[in-house]
Chain A
Amino acid sequence: ASGKTKPGSASQLQVINFNFEAVQITWNTSAYAGINFTFVYKFDKKEEYRPCSSYILQHGYSAGCLLEVQRDGPLYFSIRNGTQPLLTKNLAISAYLKPRSPGDLSFQWRQEAVTVTCSNLGYNDLQYEIQHKTVFDAVWQSTEAETCNVTVDGLDPEKCYFFRARVKALEFAYGSETYPSDWSEVTHQQRGELRDSCWENSLFPKFIL
């Protein structure tokens, strides 16, 4: 939520929903030097507000709150200076989703294609993106699917390939303000087997002594 001038306005906020496990809300403190704001929140309109239990500090002053969440739902919160609310807001935490980076990638080779699988994240409307390249390619090439079972075709089993994966929230279901997951570790594969790297001798068979 990039900045407008009014310090207390919503656009001074940044909200990140880490895989529906934790939500981080940070606010721009530069306009309010020396004030320790308090953050209170609730997940149901009828509930009482509860105080933040895990503040994020900046130069010793509160600049955000990290709160645990359990599910896709509403969040009601207020940022206060003492008892005086600076900003009171409610929002859907799904709109700020950053999925977890895909783990334990597995590779199933079949002639000139590989099927990459990993564990689904357990909620809908995600896009799993697998990128691959060889040392001859300047850029990564993407293949996408809506489950973590992505088949990449047109490969040369003789060559050594770099693979990496990430997850994106589909815009029609989460809106346009989500974050792609971090990329997974890069994996190297050649002739259907795992390799440490693609740069050493995997490339020049004729020069093997």
Chain B
Amino acid sequence: YNFTDCDFKKIKESYRNIIYQELNNYTKGTRAIDFDHFVYCEDQADCLRKIQRLTFERRPGCAAPAREAFAARTRATLAAACPGYRGAQINNTQTMKKIRKRQIKTNECLEQVTYLKELWQRLSRIS
């Protein structure tokens, strides 16, 4: 999905008022400097592509935070602000049918969500 036509002002509003609180809650106590790497994004569309990947795709050590509250809110935000966005591999109704217990917060997930926070912060600063 090409994110260039999204309503970035609307996305920023949802992020700063809702999604940010969730990400902050999830990563409470961890700091960017605790991890050796960090993820950077150049422009708004680049940021959303990387945000989608880190939010909805499985990675070693972190099945996928797709079942977390911030993922559901990210999906809702992109669906509301990006014309024709159908969402990553799971869409809202499928998630409702396959409700599974929230996964344990592995260190890999903490690292992944910390990078996610940095991408959202960068997107906010350039929007």
User: Using an 8 Å CB-CB cutoff, how does the interface string of B63-79 with A read, 1 for contact, 0 for none?
Assistant: 00000000000000000
Distance in angstroms from A137 CB to nearest chain B CB is 32
Contact of B31 among A73, A89, A94, A177 (CB under 8 A): A177
- CB atoms of B34 and A74 under 8 A apart: no
Indicate if B5 sits at the interface (CB-CB under 8 A).
Answer: no
Contact of A73 among B40, B120, B127 (CB under 8 A): B40
- CB atoms of B37 and A95 under 8 A apart: no
In the bound complex, what is the Cα–Cα distance between A172 and B14 (angstroms)?
11
Indicate if B20 sits at the interface (CB-CB under 8 A).
Answer: yes
Indicate if A90 sits at the interface (CB-CB under 8 A).
Answer: yes
Indicate if A175 sits at the interface (CB-CB under 8 A).
Answer: yes
- CB atoms of B33 and A172 under 8 A apart: no
Which chain B residues border A171 with CB–CB below 8 Å?
20, 24
Overall SS of chain B's interface: helix
In the bound complex, what is the Cα–Cα distance between A160 and B118 (angstroms)?
45
Overall SS of chain A's interface: mixed
Which chain A residues border B1 with CB–CB below 8 Å?
none
Which chain A residues border B125 with CB–CB below 8 Å?
72, 94, 123-125, 173-174
User: Using an 8 Å CB-CB cutoff, how does the interface string of B18-42 with A read, 1 for contact, 0 for none?
Assistant: 0010001000000111101110100
Indicate if A1 sits at the interface (CB-CB under 8 A).
Answer: yes
Indicate if B52 sits at the interface (CB-CB under 8 A).
Answer: no
Indicate if A81 sits at the interface (CB-CB under 8 A).
Answer: no
- CB atoms of A92 and B31 under 8 A apart: no
Indicate if A91 sits at the interface (CB-CB under 8 A).
Answer: yes
Contact of B124 among A1, A89, A95, A124 (CB under 8 A): A124
Residues A90 and B37 in contact in the complex (CB < 8 Å), given A172-B15, A172-B121, A175-B117: yes
User: How many of A's residues come within 8 Å of B, CB to CB?
Assistant: 26
Indicate if B122 sits at the interface (CB-CB under 8 A).
Answer: yes
Which chain A residues border B126 with CB–CB below 8 Å?
72, 124
User: Using an 8 Å CB-CB cutoff, how does the interface string of B93-127 with A read, 1 for contact, 0 for none?
Assistant: 00000000000000000000000011011101111
Indicate if A118 sits at the interface (CB-CB under 8 A).
Answer: no
Residue of B whose beta carbon sits closest to that of A87? B36
User: Using an 8 Å CB-CB cutoff, how does the interface string of A3-18 with B read, 1 for contact, 0 for none?
Assistant: 0000000110101000
Can you pick out 28 interface pairs between chain A and chain B where the beta carbons lie within 8 Å of each other?
A10-B33, A10-B34, A10-B36, A15-B33, A72-B122, A74-B40, A88-B36, A89-B36, A90-B37, A92-B32, A92-B40, A92-B118, A92-B121, A92-B122, A94-B122, A94-B125, A95-B121, A123-B125, A124-B124, A124-B125, A172-B121, A173-B124, A173-B125, A174-B125, A175-B121, A176-B31, A177-B31, A177-B33
